[in-house]
Amino acid sequence: MYCKLKAAFLLTLTLWAPQKGWAADILVIGDSLSAAYGIEEEDGWVNLLRERTGLSVRNAAITGDTTLGGRSRIDQLLAEEQPKLVMIELGGNDGLRGLSLKQMAENLSDMIEKTEATGAEAMLIGITLPPNYGAAFIRRFEKTFARLAEEYDTHFTPNLAAGLEKRLEWIQNDGIHPNELAQPLMLDNVLAHAPDWVKNAGQ
């Protein structure tokens, strides 16, 4: 009797093991722009990505996060999710807070390298800054993303919010965060530069 119970128990563990160790197709490490700040989570572009493609997507975005925060979390996230693709959408808060662009670049580089070391693909998602930060600083900020994407030959979306400057009614009252109407456009911006296996999923 004991042997039969033990065998049944081991069979149960075997059947459940793949679910416990489920690997995400896509891991998103980002800030409020990916965390659906100010809107329902189901309306955010990351959830729309999940719905449109049918892929398993882990949203690890945290409102207010910086590249340093992402760098401190990525080891654990990679180990937990074992993703095929890591979308890195960080840097906006570094820029808004006037943090070192050199340090931002080093943090992003570390995240890309750790991602690729696991065999996963990396995708860098850039953003721009409000015009009051000055044209010179904004150019340096934007070029940081472009330089890293070229250096590491990663998939690259230059500006997650591209096109929203023409639709001010798609911005929340804080003047910074996109509302739910903007999320499909943001998803289109991401998918335009995503790997083919992501673009073609769900079709």
Q: What is the pLDDT of residues 9-21, one digit of tens each?
A: 333 333 333 333 4
Among candidate residues 31, 34, 65, 177, the one labeled active-site is 177
Q: What is the pLDDT of residues 181-195, one digit of tens each?
A: 999 999 999 999 999
Q: Which of 20-34, 98-112, 147-161 has the lowest mean pLDDT?
A: 20-34
Was domain 25-198 assigned CATH 3.30.465.10? no
Computed from CA positions of residues 75, 86, 136, 171, in that sequence, does the dihedral angle turn out positive or negative? negative
Please say if 155 is a catalytic residue: no
What is the overall mean pLDDT for the chain? 90
Residues of the chain above pLDDT 90, percent: 84
87, containing H or E segment: strand 85-89
Higher pLDDT among residues 17 and 103, named by residue:
103
Residue 45: pLDDT band by 50, 70, 90 thresholds?
Answer: very high
Q: Residue 27, Cβ neighbours under 10 Å: how many?
A: 25
Among candidate residues 25, 31, 32, 34, the one labeled active-site is 32
Residue 23: pLDDT band by 50, 70, 90 thresholds?
Answer: confident
Please say if 56 is a catalytic residue: no
Please say if 100 is a catalytic residue: no
Between CA 60 and CA 137 the distance in angstroms is 28
Computed from CA positions of residues 161, 101, 121, 158, in that sequence, does the dihedral angle turn out positive or negative? positive
- In this model, does residue 79 exceed pLDDT 90? yes
Q: What is the pLDDT of residue 201?
A: 95
Residue 142: pLDDT band by 50, 70, 90 thresholds?
Answer: very high
